[in-house]
Structure 1
Amino acid sequence: MEERALESFFGWYYAACATAVLIAFTGTVYIQDHAGWKVGFGLPAILMCLLYL
């Protein structure tokens, strides 16, 4: 029973990670198309720096 619950957990975990990556890439491309490459690269870079503080 525990093995099935663990498989279900990791299945949902990987599905959530893949969905988050898809949304992040789509958002980054949208920003780059509408605001330019500097903003499209700078915004994720700033957000990554803030997450590691």
Structure 2
Amino acid sequence: MPQMAPLYWLMLFFFFLLVLMLFFSMNYFIKPFEKKDHTMKELTLNFKAWKL
């Protein structure tokens, strides 16, 4: 909207960039869950031999 002040849009743009960078940095540094180690060989404990 051209009738609004350009400084207002500049502040909104910098706020958007700040929130975007905060979002990406939080996604990079904070992991929501522990990754499972696939090198462990415990698959035989959950294996069930089905007999029909």
TM-score between both structures, scaled by the size of structure 1: 0.50
* Percent identity of paired positions between Structure 1 and Structure 2: 6
User: Where does the alignment leave 5 or more consecutive residues of structure 2 unmatched?
Assistant: 34-52
Superposition pairs for residues 4-43 of structure 1, below 5 Å? 10-36=5-31
User: What is the letter of the counterpart of residue 15 of structure 2?
Assistant: A
How many aligned positions are there? 31
Highest RCO, 1 vs 2 (Cα 8 Å, sep ≥ 6): 1
Q: Deviations over 1:2-38 (max 9, x none)?
A: xxxxx7x611000000000000000010000000268
The structure with the largest helix share of the pair is: 1
Runs of 4+ in 1 over 3 A off after TM superposition: none
**Please, what is the CA RMSD of the aligned residues?**
2.2
